[in-house]
Amino acid sequence: MPYLFEDFALDGDRRELRRGDDLIPVEPQVFDLLQYLIRNRERVVSKDDLVDAVWQGRIVSDATLASRINAARNALQDSGEQQRLIRTILRRGLRFVGTVREEVETTAPLEKPKPALGIPARPSIAVLPFVNLSGDPDQDYFADGMVEDIITGLSRIRWLFVIARNSSFTYKGRAVDVKQVGHELGVRYVLEGSVRKVGSRVRISGQLIDAEDGSHLWAERYDRELTDVFALQDEITISVVAAIEPNLRRAEIERVRRDRPDSLDAYDLLLRSLPDVYTFMPQGAAKGLPLLDQALAIEPTYALAHGFAAWAHQTLFVRGGMQPENREKSIRHAHAAIENGSGDAMALALAGFTIGLVEHDRRLADEAFAQALALSASCAFVYTFGCVPLAYGGDWARAIDWCEQAMRLSPLDAMSCVPQGIIGLGNFLAGRHEQAVAAGRRAVEMNPGFSILHGWLAAPLARLGRLDEAKGAATRLLSLDPYFSIGRWSAVVGLAPEIVDDVTDAMRMAGLPE
């Protein structure tokens, strides 16, 4: 029911505040605060009442509450000095003192609810226009340009369905309900945010929301100097896209766990395989592969399923007994991923990793990584998998650069044990053994069940003369991978001639078998 006062109209159903024909952008919490004050205008509303109604009892600082009250007053062209509409009652709370008329709609609303669109089988997202909180109309161009770049960046992720800019921007300037957006646009996830400029600095906030239940999956705030606008847009865009991809992947894995097994399509089957494949170990790979095989039986040209199957067979080959069948299958799936995945950065990264490690064709691996980065420069997955064949090929400086880029793009990624471990191996190859041990220990802490991490740690420990610790790391490696031997491993992964003696001699000192 709309509330009319002075020349304002507040519509709770549409969540809109208007002055005449002009729509006034209002943050959701500020809108709820206004609506609560107006609905309870016959009494004084306490701070506790507001916190319970607007923040559902969450702890809210006095500063936060004061800022939202000021924002509500500003939206109504009121102020703390005037208190024309929102009045502070000393030691008691607030009261809305404007004259309000409730408009009862006796005819059908002019705008009918939009019909619900079907949710696509694969993950879908809408990026809403970021709210300009600066009071500076010039910042609209900056915010809109950044949102357009984020939409473009997300559109390069092949497994993600992204709503086009023209549809997302119909919500510009409107206070919207995320569940309603998901309903109207047919998406599972919504990204929303805001931009606030103060002096020469700008604060950009973003949050990723599950449109089905309203839960928050990710939120981040970026504080930057506003110097080169386009460079800043690029930086934030890359950071946001890089952060969203692994968070969406985790959310999708949790979603498919709740679905009935007999309702799964190829994409759902792939998701179900990932927790096992992500263990990096043969037991997990063996458990995940039947699901990937089922996915490929449904969709034989599914490039990403081929990519993960290549990785799983590579795991079985290198750490599960070095059976020729696994090597052949890993290479076959890797080439199928390249053949069918020319536009899929993740599939190309997995293919490049497998081809570089198992087929030892580092030229083709580099081409796959380059193509993946051309598609999506913000895909941490590419750097995470690309750093391993780079290090094994002797290019330790570039490998370390790629590791640092992977962790900068996705600092909380479950895959971070790989770049962290390769930073250790790269520092070992550079002769920086103390740094190598520090990085190696961090990698092991992240994933103690990934066997080769212990080998990458044992080598620098041995070079430092810390043989007891080195032998302890070697023992843990062998407990996880009883098939490991220095000669077979170095030959299987194709260690470059210029590094093979350094690595294998150190592992030998640590007590690993020849």
Sign of the Cα torsion 210, 215, 221, 227 reads positive
pLDDT of residue 111: 45
* % of residues, the chain, pLDDT over 90: 39
> Is 464 in a helix, a strand, or coil?
coil
Local structure of residue 430 (DSSP, 8 states): T
Mean pLDDT of the chain: 85
317-376: per-residue pLDDT in tens? 999 888 999 999 999 999 999 999 888 888 999 999 999 999 999 999 999 999 998 887
pLDDT of residue 108: 41
Report which of residues 12 and 17 the model is more confident about: 17
193-228: per-residue pLDDT in tens? 888 877 778 888 888 888 887 888 888 888 888 777
pLDDT of residue 56: 67
Task: Look up tokens 């981040």; give the residue.
Answer: 220
pLDDT above 90 (res 481): yes
Mean pLDDT of 252-272: 69
**Across the strands, what pairs with 201?**
198, 225
92-149: per-residue pLDDT in tens? 889 988 888 876 554 444 444 444 455 666 678 889 988 888 777 767 777 887 888 8
pLDDT band at 450 (very low <50, low <70, confident <90, very high): very high
pLDDT above 80 (res 55): no
Q: Where are the beta strands (DSSP E) in 383-511?
A: none
pLDDT of residue 314: 96
137-191: per-residue pLDDT in tens? 767 777 887 888 888 778 777 677 888 777 788 888 777 788 888 888 888 889 9
Tell me the backbone φ, ψ of residue 23, rounded to 5 degrees: -85, 130
Amino acid (one-letter) located at 500: V
CA distances from 378 to 50, 121, 267, 468 (A): 41, 24, 22, 41
Range from 18-27, 326-335, 490-499 carrying the lowest mean pLDDT = 18-27
